[in-house]
Amino acid sequence: MTLPLSFSPEVAAARRDGKPLVALESTIITHGMPWPQNLETATAVEQAVRAAGAVPATVAVMAGAIHVGLDPERLAALAGAEGVAKLSRADLAVCLARGGTGATTVAATMICAHLAGIAVFATGGIGGVHRGAEASFDISADLHELARTPVTVVSAGAKAILDLPKTLEVLETLGVPVIGYRTDTLPAFWSRDSGLAAPLRMDSPAEIAAAHRMRARLGLAGGQLVANPIPPEAEIPRDRIVPQIEAALADTAGASAKAVTPALLARLHQITEGRSLEANIALVLNNARLAAAIAQALA
């Protein structure tokens, strides 16, 4: 049986010509940002990857196939759709087997990127250990995926709505390298600094590419998490965002499972009067540019 993989013409040509590719996820489009900023951002992120010398491959499941690279019509259809499923490792195969449609999270995008032979993936922030996880057990499947699938994921750290110290602990237990890019402290998504030390530091795309290759040579399962701080001009300082996060957490206490992260992000956009969304867009663009440079260093 062949894999249910469908490449856009741009991605198919890049694979043929051996051009560097960067995978992009689609849950950020369907669940992370409101219309129309979601479509504008997805389009701008693809453009940022191209401008930085690589080829973007936005991943989503549509009508029972994994699409690696979405043409503008498919991208617009996904961004405008209501009630799209949010797919992780657990539900990817079920959605495909039923001929369904869904957006891929970090975990599912890593699986699809690896199937497509793409080693580098840019997102905003990964999922992690939610606050109160000692009672709820809510830990994102993104962490386990990083431990098993060999893709380098460029993020602005884990989303600061999470319990960041516990997220770091779990990543360490799972053997996932967490690499601060040109920083000694872990970035916290909307802010440049979480106050926590970054376990590792690298200062160039070439070093990150070399570490990616070395993991493969050693036969180590799993990927790398690159934590790239939001640009200074776009950041929301920690003392400003932390109370706003607390308010958003209080307002969304009823959400559970897959609904938690989207509900928190949406409430925070309201509380910050759009500033958290602006910061989110800036950090994703920044991650796309770094991912393109890493993909070129790997090619």
Binding flag, residue 32, ligand PSU (CB under 6 A): yes
Q: What is the token pair recorded at 168?
A: 């770091």
| Closer of 116 and 160 to ligand PSU (Cβ) | 160
Nearer to ligand PSU, 157 or 177 (CB): 157
Residue 276 near ligand PSU by CB under 6 A: no
Tokens of 126: 């990964």
Residue 124 CB, shortest distance to ligand PSU, in Å, is 2
Residue 28 binds to ligand PSU (criterion: CB under 6 A) = yes
Give the active site residue among 25, 46, 145, 235: 25
Write out the two tokens for 285.
Answer: 């663009």
Q: Is 142 in the site for ligand PSU (CB under 6 A)?
A: yes
- HSE-CB at 2 with a 13 A cutoff on CA atoms is 6
Cβ pair 57, 138 in contact under 8 A: no
- Cβ nearer to ligand PSU, comparing 84 with 297: 84
Angle at 272 between CA 266 and CA 275, to 5 degrees: 95
Stretch in the footprint of ligand PSU (CB under 6 A) among 25-33, 175-183, 211-219, 269-277: 25-33
Our CB check for ligand PSU shows the closer of 15 and 269 to be 269
Q: Which of 6, 41, 123, 286 binds ligand PSU (CB under 6 A)?
A: 123
- 159 noted as active-site residue: yes
Q: Which of 10, 25, 46, 91 binds ligand PSU (CB under 6 A)?
A: 25
Q: Where would I find the H helices in the chain? A: 9-17, 27, 37-51, 72-80, 89-97, 106-115, 133-136, 141-148, 164-173, 205-218, 238-251, 260-271, 275-298
Site residues, ligand PSU (CB under 6 A): 25, 27-28, 31-32, 105-106, 123-125, 127, 140, 142, 258, 261, 265, 280, 284
